[in-house]
Structure 1
Amino acid sequence: MTTTLLSCAGRTVGRYSHLPAAQDGRPFLHPVTTLAGIPVTEARPADHIHHLGASVAVPDVAGHNFWGGRTFVRGQGPTELDNHGVQRHLGWKLRDPDGFVEELSWEAGGAELLREHRTVAVTPLSPTAWALDFSFSLTNRGSTGLSIGSPATNGRPGAGYGGFFWRAPKEPAPPVVFGAELDGEEAVHGSAAAWVALAGDGWTLVFAGATGETRRDPWFVRGQEYPGVGSSLAAVRRLTVAAGATLVRRVVTVVADGTLDRETADAYVRRVVTA
């Protein structure tokens, strides 16, 4: 396991890890903390051992599982399949204390399906808040289109996860879920809101889509079962990446100490998305 530390205002706020190329899996950020040191990610929890902090995870790329765990098969349900892919670290274009630029290869069945260019940057916002700017571009290196799906597109309603995903810590009480104009998990889940937030015990995470395409992607939100937020690439219908084409997404996450109200969360989002 190779790790890279991320710093903000002289404090370590994140650890980024990637596995050796020979192992299945994906790079991920964990632990990520507030400036006061409160952990706001969780990795390999007992309820979903394939949840890895903050990462890019897709359950169906042309039938290959880059999420982990079982694969949802139409008419059959969650099924153990030998179809797991790996996001292989190829090298750094930039590697500084406040961010990095990385090249990765998405491989399955001995072939490269996608080449990823990933940029992660840390931005200080206040004495109690900072932002994690996470963007990724996926280029289809093959000669035919690649279809990206989800359990929802494969027959499981409401399970349109896949893309940027953040697993937060599970606490005795579920987090408060709210958005720019909506309140509660049921209302926020599946919406294409400008931003969504989870507020836990002494911390708040605010997730904002930072490009036009990202803002059109529905949010996948869990609070009661477990705390997690993702930006869905294929929430309702499959998404095809044409041969030679590139898919680009960018999510900026505000990591704050304390409980933010809607006005403060919105003010932070306006700063980080327009920066």
Structure 2
Amino acid sequence: MNTNNESLVLRVAGRPVGRYITRPELPPRLSPRPYLHPVTTLAGTAVTELSPADHIHHLGVGVAVPDVEGHNFWGGRTYVRGQGPTELDNHGAQRHTCFQLRDPDGFVEELRWVAGGGELLRERRTVAASELTESAWALDFTFSLTNITDADLSVGSPATNGRPGAAYGGFFWRARKEADAPRVFTAAAEGEEAVHGTRADWLALVGAGWTLVFAGATEPTRCDPWFVRTAEYPGVGSSLAHGERLSIAAGETVVRRIVTVVADGILDRDGAAALVRKAVSP
């Protein structure tokens, strides 16, 4: 793995498929945090975007949460009940502490979530890349958030703060924007309106010559609804706080794992399901 203090390169079968930025130089308004960008297919097609004009606080692939006890770890404006999106000086940052493990195909990282002059959460992030076929690989992304304060913390979203349909916050993948909006489907539904906010074992996003298939790979994650955008911009995430705030007691740890299949070409339902089974099998 090529590495320095700022970045490292993930490789699958010797081919670079992603760059991980550990200490990005970003203004506080973007809620600075480590991220993966660019992420590519095995053929080299980029499937992420960084700070696009439509949402400059979207940073490739990572973990972003708009409300941790009132602190914004998502970036941009904060949704305030009865007021709407509002510019607030409430942004937190995820700070890389160290790598506990670092290999060409993955890493284990320690991070500190800081805001308001103190540390709220400590995170252990485990990321692994593996080859599935000659045209597909899997990104296995697990994050564990531990409340290190002496009081309960709660995680919210614009949805829990009064904006219907906006339960974003957690794992988030900002995909590349193309001339046409991507197709999105699950095993049982098709289209943004049908799949957004639903719970499904996997969800596929299909662009021009590439497919991403997201799978909740742990029981809590499979219960998290999917946050999906295709018409406004292409993005997929899992919702930590959908219908209600997520409480994390002092000393408690919340764990989520998402496995994403990154494939060249256009996958149908059977193809997507088969690769997901291969990616998440023990």
TM-score range, shorter chain: over 0.9
Alignment partner, residue 17 of structure 1: 21
Q: 1:50 aligns with which of 57, 63, 67?
A: 57
Confirm or deny: 8 A CA contact 1:23 1:86 kept in the other structure: no
> Alignment partner of 1:48: what SS?
coil
1:146-193, Cα deviation, whole Å (9 max, x unpaired):
010000000100000000000001100000000121111111100110
Confirm or deny: 8 A CA contact 1:150 1:160 kept in the other structure: yes
Structure 1, unmatched stretches of 5+, are none
Aligned partners of 1:262 and 1:173: how far apart in 2?
A: 20
Count of matched residue pairs: 275
TM-score where L is the length of structure 1: 0.98
Aligned partners of 1:19 and 1:67: how far apart in 2?
A: 16
1:223-247, Cα deviation, whole Å (9 max, x unpaired):
0110000000001110000000000
Alignment partner, residue 157 of structure 1: 164
Name the amino acid aligned to 2:262.
V
2:109 pairs with 1:123: no
- Please give the residue correspondences for 1:122-141 in structure 2 after superposition, counting only pairs within 5 Å: 122-141=129-148
Aligned partners of 1:23 and 1:115: how far apart in 2?
A: 22
Q: 1:92 aligns with which of 70, 93, 99?
A: 99
Structure 2, unmatched stretches of 5+, are none
2:8 pairs with 1:4: yes
TM-score where L is the length of structure 2: 0.96
> Alignment partner of 2:76: what SS?
coil
2:191 pairs with 1:187: no
Alignment partner, residue 243 of structure 2: 236
2:115 pairs with 1:108: yes
Post-superposition offset of 1:271: 1.3
> Alignment partner of 1:170: what SS?
coil
Post-superposition offset of 1:21: 8.7
Name the amino acid aligned to 2:239.
S
Aligned partners of 2:12 and 2:281: how far apart in 1?
A: 20
Post-superposition offset of 1:20: 5.8
Confirm or deny: 8 A CA contact 1:209 1:251 kept in the other structure: yes
Q: Sequence identity of aligned pairs in percent?
A: 69
Name the amino acid aligned to 2:169.
G
1:115-139, Cα deviation, whole Å (9 max, x unpaired):
0000000010000000000000000
Confirm or deny: 8 A CA contact 1:137 1:248 kept in the other structure: yes
Aligned partners of 2:27 and 2:87: how far apart in 1?
A: 18
- Please give the residue correspondences for 1:220-259 in structure 2 after superposition, counting only pairs within 5 Å: 220-259=227-266
Q: 1:271 aligns with which of 238, 258, 278?
A: 278
1:14-51, Cα deviation, whole Å (9 max, x unpaired):
00002269964010000000000000000100000000
Aligned partners of 2:78 and 2:153: how far apart in 1?
A: 18
